[in-house]
Chains A and B, each alone.
Chain A
Amino acid sequence: MDYVLKTNSLCKHYRNFKALNRVSMHIPKGAIYGFVGKNGAGKTTLIRLICGLQYPTSGDFVLCGVKNTDRKIAESRSRMGAVVETPSIYPGMTAEDNLKMQYRLLGMPSFDGIQELLKLVGLENTGKKKAKHFSLGMKQRLGIAIALCGSPDFLILDEPINGLDPQGIIEIRELILKLNRERQITVLISSHILDELSKLATHYGFIDSGRIIKEMSAEELEQACRKCIHMTVTDTKILARVLDGMEITYKILDEKTADVYAKPNFSQLALALSKENCEVVSMEEHDENLETFFVNLVGGANHE
């Protein structure tokens, strides 16, 4: 698999405090990678290291095929756009002037494409209005437009929907999906608004106390969060035989427990099991979403 970013045991220490502790993460090309963690978990620190704003205490990373210690990392970074914490915009300039400034910094030969970018982020009608008078959502979209100058392959968005109203959140979500689908831009989004992230991400990385607890694809997460009946029986071999007969999908967890991915007729199931000398000890509905999955994961990690 092609990776846009791979980190290898990345550490960042502030005296005795370990902001990042041996973080290894993998962002596949073309993915929308949801970087999930509580406040202070280390999301922004990791993003700062990738952007070169801070230096790692130890460990390394490979960005677009170039190691961070390589001299060519600057070239590699030019293929990346980022909005870290707050959008990097000059408040005294208009949206167009801000984009022109970015074009100059990138050494673009002309200002062609600025109107297209403004249209893409929905700021084509801002005219001479200065960025300091923009709403938070408009500033965020302008920040994304700036990050998109030079057509990057990889976009890093640190908490892009923080403080936005519902309409603003929808606009940013649609913009990110559009960029990923139409321009094939790989996106790393850090957020703690999990419900929103679940509508976007194709891959997830969960971080807590500076450590990556789990990395998984959206399919794997969906599988883990799939609605099921968690059954405890006296013998799961018999349960499997009965469920096969009823053409119901299931997963045997151990000799006595299994997850059943459907709502069977429980009377019939219990009767069929009883005929085979298998008792149903308990049944409980299992319904997880990203939020509960994360809470269980972090809680689990804390209790390790």
Chain B
Amino acid sequence: MSKLLRADFARLFMSRIFWIGVLFMAGFAGFIVFTRWSDMRAVPGYYCFADDIFLVGSMCIGIVIAIFTGIFIGEDYNSGTIRNKHIMGHSRTAMYLSNLITCSMASVIMHFAFIVVIIGSSVFGIIGKSRISVEKMAGLCLITVFSVLSISSMILLISMLIPKKSAGVVTAMIFSIFMIYIANTIDYRLSAKEYIQPYTFTVTNEDGTEQEIEQPLTKNPKYLTGTKKKIFQFFHDTLPVDQIMQICQTETCNTDFILSSLAVTVIATGAGILFFRKKDLK
């Protein structure tokens, strides 16, 4: 597999889409720093700290990974070079694992391109320094790295099983957008309060008079309980975008996330290898 890795990494560093991805993430970070810096100048009392935004890029990294992986793997299929690797004697498992390692490394580099720009802006005083310790920041970064790896493994599964480049990219993108949607939906349902607080509102009658209506304390139908809540919580702790969302919101180092990310990576990779080994490479 070392031969495959050597070739795949050489191709990665020659790949235009990889460098576009790195530049995009760095540029995105630069854009966020610029908007926060503008806000700091315009709004008195507002101050942006590095720890507020250094993981924001992880929320959208799935889409960037989807585009990169879809094109990188799709090129291998389109040009027929994936067949060539197999013809010269490389096993399908080795080919899959080599692609996993290459695409995962690329995803992590793109992830760090965002973080480095934010930290750099903080060091140069464009935004405020971090309020949390360096150790904690490193811990949070490490957890998100594992989340990024699990996103990468799921997107690789899609890209390796769809040989058409454009179809692979579109499917991977839809999947990553769907993951963001699921994360938001789960977060919204889990954060729903048990009761809706009493409130009053005013309505205007037909004769023009105004009437104040008082709404009493009511039970929230969106509030989750029992098994349903446990299922939602399980997915919230397991799905990578959900994990990143929680890390951004709470800034807590939950090491269980690493285990669940690893589990997702192993399952996605196992399934991918299983299907790829049976696939006809036309």
Question: Interface of A with B (CB < 8 Å)?
Answer: 48, 51-55, 74-78, 80-82, 84-93, 97, 100-102, 104-107, 146, 150
Q: Are A91 and B281 in contact (CB under 8 A)?
A: no
Q: Are A54 and B83 in contact (CB under 8 A)?
A: no
A-B CB contact pairs (8 Å), 11 listed = A48-B281, A48-B282, A52-B86, A52-B87, A74-B91, A82-B84, A88-B84, A89-B80, A93-B14, A106-B3, A107-B6
Q: Cβ of B75: which chain A residues have Cβ within 8 Å of it?
A: 90, 92
Q: How far is the CA of A48 from the CA of B279 in the complex (A)?
A: 13
Q: Are A92 and B83 in contact (CB under 8 A)?
A: no
With A53-B282, A90-B75, A92-B16 known to touch, is A104 a contact of B10 (CB < 8 Å)? yes
Q: Cβ of A55: which chain B residues have Cβ within 8 Å of it?
A: 280
With A88-B81, A90-B81 known to touch, is A101 a contact of B11 (CB < 8 Å)? yes
Q: Are B87 and A105 in contact (CB under 8 A)?
A: no
CB nearest to A150 among chain B residues: B88
Q: Are B281 and A54 in contact (CB under 8 A)?
A: yes
Encode contact with A along B1-27: 1 for CB under 8 Å, 0 otherwise.
Answer: 011101100110010100000000000
- Tell which of A55, A87, A104, A107 has the most Cβ of chain B within 10 Å: A104
B222 at the interface (CB under 8 A from A): no
Q: Are A104 and B280 in contact (CB under 8 A)?
A: no
With A53-B281, A84-B80 known to touch, is A90 a contact of B2 (CB < 8 Å)? no
Q: Are A53 and B87 in contact (CB under 8 A)?
A: yes
Q: Are B79 and A91 in contact (CB under 8 A)?
A: yes
Contacts A80-B88, A90-B79 known; list 9 others, CB within 8 Å: A48-B280, A74-B90, A74-B91, A86-B80, A90-B81, A101-B81, A105-B4, A105-B85, A107-B2
B89 at the interface (CB under 8 A from A): yes
Q: Cβ of B87: which chain A residues have Cβ within 8 Å of it?
A: 51-53, 77, 80-82, 84
Q: How far is the CA of A107 from the CA of B88 in the complex (A)?
A: 11
- From B7, B11, B80, B91, A88 is in contact (CB under 8 Å) with B80
Q: How far is the CA of A216 from the CA of B98 in the complex (A)?
A: 44
Q: Cβ of B281: which chain A residues have Cβ within 8 Å of it?
A: 48, 53-54
Return A267 CB to nearest CB of chain B, in Å. Answer: 62
Q: How far is the CA of A74 from the CA of B88 in the complex (A)?
A: 7
Q: Are A74 and B89 in contact (CB under 8 A)?
A: yes
CB nearest to A152 among chain B residues: B88
Q: Are B16 and A105 in contact (CB under 8 A)?
A: no
With A86-B80, A87-B80, A88-B81 known to touch, is A75 a contact of B89 (CB < 8 Å)? yes
Q: Are A97 and B14 in contact (CB under 8 A)?
A: yes
- From B7, B79, B80, A105 is in contact (CB under 8 Å) with B7
Q: Cβ of A53: which chain B residues have Cβ within 8 Å of it?
A: 83, 86-87, 280-282
Interchain residue pairs A-B with the least CB separation, the first 5:
A88-B84, A78-B89, A104-B7, A107-B3, A74-B89
- Tell which of B10, B11, B83, B280 has the most Cβ of chain A within 10 Å: B83
Q: Cβ of A85: which chain B residues have Cβ within 8 Å of it?
A: 80
Q: Cβ of B280: which chain A residues have Cβ within 8 Å of it?
A: 48, 53-55
Q: How far is the CA of A51 from the CA of B281 in the complex (A)?
A: 10
Return B141 CB to nearest CB of chain A, in Å. Answer: 32
Q: Cβ of B91: which chain A residues have Cβ within 8 Å of it?
A: 74
Encode contact with A along B262-279: 1 for CB under 8 Å, 0 otherwise.
Answer: 000000000000000000
Q: Are A106 and B88 in contact (CB under 8 A)?
A: yes
Return A76 CB to nearest CB of chain B, in Å. Answer: 8
Q: Are A90 and B89 in contact (CB under 8 A)?
A: no
CB nearest to A52 among chain B residues: B86
Q: Are B84 and A146 in contact (CB under 8 A)?
A: yes
Complex interface residues of chain B between 67 and 104 (CB less than 8 A to chain A): 75, 79-81, 83-91
- Tell which of A91, A101, A102, A106 has the most Cβ of chain B within 10 Å: A101
CB nearest to B277 among chain A residues: A55
Q: Cβ of B84: which chain A residues have Cβ within 8 Å of it?
A: 82, 88, 102, 105, 146
Q: How far is the CA of A146 from the CA of B6 in the complex (A)?
A: 17
CB nearest to A146 among chain B residues: B84
Q: Cβ of B6: which chain A residues have Cβ within 8 Å of it?
A: 104, 107
Q: Are A89 and B79 in contact (CB under 8 A)?
A: yes
Q: Cβ of B11: which chain A residues have Cβ within 8 Å of it?
A: 90, 101
Q: Cβ of B85: which chain A residues have Cβ within 8 Å of it?
A: 105
Return B12 CB to nearest CB of chain A, in Å. Answer: 12
